[in-house]
Structure 1
Amino acid sequence: MPVRTAATATATAPVTTAPADFDALRRQDPEIAEVILGETNRQADSLQLIAAENFTSPAVLAALGSPLANKYAEGYPGARHHGGCELVDAAERIAIERATALFGAEHANVQPHSGSSAVLAAYAALLRPGDTVLAMGLAFGGHLTHGSPANFSGRWFEFVPYGVDAETGLLDYDQVRRLAREHRPKAIVCGSISYPRHPDYEAFREIADEVGAYLIADAAHPMGLIAGGAAPSPLPYADVVCATTHKVLRGPRGGMVLCGSHLAERIDRAVFPFTQGGAQMHTIAAKAVAFGEAATPAFAAYAHRVVANAKVLAEGLAAEDFAITTGGTDTHLITADPAPLGVDGRTARGRLAAAGMVLDTCALPYGDGRGIRLGTAALTTQGMGEPEMARIAALFTAALRAEGDETHRVRREVRELSERFRPY
């Protein structure tokens, strides 16, 4: 995907175009067509700061909207339960080959429908109901699949949560080791949805080996940075790596599982037939496109720009009196407490959304309320750089303190910025 830059971006009218066959959709189902056009314009007319979102390339979108969506393909290449799979077999083999080459893995399963599906498959392959698992607690940034009682993970397994240091907000590896020795888990999960620093995968591996546990890396957030060489890889240390194919990786919504050849059959059987049925072949083809894009020098440069932008944005927010968790970031994401500005996370999210800046709330370690979580992947895809990050930090504060006409002024500035850097 050609990343836009200030030199090539020009102010344009709101997006009103779509794929060539969109006119047919508009004629047949104008109600849904209006929803799609409205969402297209919303994405282009505001700043997308949700850490889990990005803009795919037109090539990825083309694969997603291809006739491969029509094909039923239960099973794996060369061993399908339906006929006529010769070409979709080729698409899946390409996706597997590109994923293993990109990440240096011995085996890849590209069929999981989501990151949660990938984690479910890892658990199904390695664990049995009732087994003990050590994972980051939800209050510290753990995912729903890391033991939430509302999720299958918390119902099927005995999760022991670990956290972060109360002073620094950094992972407490001494606590992880102590809990592992005390509870002797069958598996240890490293990974988070809101921890902005790189995990020490080698330290996790040493702890897992000491207690005889599997090490599962949930790398959904940093996987695109790993692909671009902007973050360390868990592949040399983890038994299984689970990830999404969207977020920084900039592919379609979906998941994947990477592992060594000795676990390949167990992982594959855990995906199909144990947890999923027919593969989504249009999505798998789109994953292959994204893996191909991520193997280029241009993507590596993009991944490093994502991190550089996040660091500048975090510094800018800190200068505007936001309390930045861990004091900064190593990745694409930032978590912050807006309390010093007199608002909580939910109020901040609402005011920022009204000004055209879309982000999430998140748990604050050892805090009473909720903070905000934001990322720079989508903005960087649009071609924004460090000057824009500094401006956005100032707009955050202006939006949180604005009232009446001032809110409209901030919204106009956000719209002007978004018009200079269109996603497509």
Structure 2
Amino acid sequence: MSTKDWLEKDYYKVLGVSSSAKPEEIKKAYRKLARENHPDANPGNAEAEKRFKEVSEANDVLSDQSKRKEYDDARKLFGGGGFRFPRGGNTAGAGSMDDLFRNASGGGGESFSDLFGGLFNGAGRSSRTTSSNGRGPRRGTDIEGEVTIDFVQSVNGVTVPIQMVSDAACSACHGTGAKAGTVPRVCPTCQGSGMQTSTSGGVFAVTEPCTDCRGRGMIVDDPCPVCHGSGRGKSTKNMQVRIPAGVTDAQRIRLKGKGGAGENGGAAGDLYVVVHVRPHPVFGRKGDNLTLTAPVTFNEAALGAEIEVPTLDGPAVRIKIAAGTPNGRTLRVRGKGVARRDGSRGDLLVTVEVVVPEQLSEQAREALGSYAAAAGTTDPRQALFAKARSASGAGAG
């Protein structure tokens, strides 16, 4: 790869981020693409291996603040017209970008690396090392699981057992990737670092995953028949997970460091638990408040009464129904709702539902007839018709 080609690569496009992307965006994009295209996950896939190299190369530059600045400056310089070549009849002085790089360190003047300070690990600058043993730490994979709990447990919190299947070290080869009785050898190309550095014209140094060991730093001559040389295998483990009070249905809880184990001293991944909450036959939820529909008789609503209603996990409470309470009115019982983080609790919202009897005795009918006569013949729908006529008239006008 020529220096010209290397400079003109759009690393932002490789990672699928904008040129103004924040470091955490770059990190997230790299991790996703690296997982998808890692040689261990795509054995024998040359296209994935090529893509993995491109992604690693882009991340090596964009994840380093100083390298990224130099890269951006260089792109502005060459892409924004920082250099001008003569045009017209004076062909002796005319040149191309290829000519510039080909002659950059040629006699007499300052070399290209002198002019631009060794961009991207240029001549005279050593590339970053990984760790004392040549292989850098690798963070463990994130794991996602699901758990279903009762409504009461979601309100008060609960500790539940959960069984997880994680990508741990292969039990047959203990993570070496080599067949029992054999051991992998250090890659002679990268000396176990998993990375190799190539130079272009003596000006730039490019660090990328080693092509011989595919970034692992070790070469397995006799692969493990269980994991096929990857060193990874599926394992099942049980753990106790604390579901906090107040969790909602479909909420995703992150448990830091409870995911897959890291490699070479790398941090463990995270465990994400998606919580499903079974509905309650009586209570509902609205934010930190619990909801309840309480049926009342016509007499209780009209004359007023004091009734008992249940609470989620405690004794019943008495609430007062004022005389003339309409159907659908909501009454509040303080402190009988969902537990909050600060230790307080939400409220219980009780909605009144006036129950109309489906059958009446003859005596009840006579009593209601007497009530209707005593109450008068006022039509409660007069206002409804008045509003409808008013709206119709306004529309016609």
Q: Same fold (TM over 0.5)?
A: no
Normalised to the residue count of structure 1, the TM-score between the two structures is: 0.17
Larger Rg computed on CA atoms: 2
Normalised to the residue count of structure 2, the TM-score between the two structures is: 0.18
Of structures 1 and 2, the one scoring higher in RCO (CA 8 A, sep 6+) is: 1
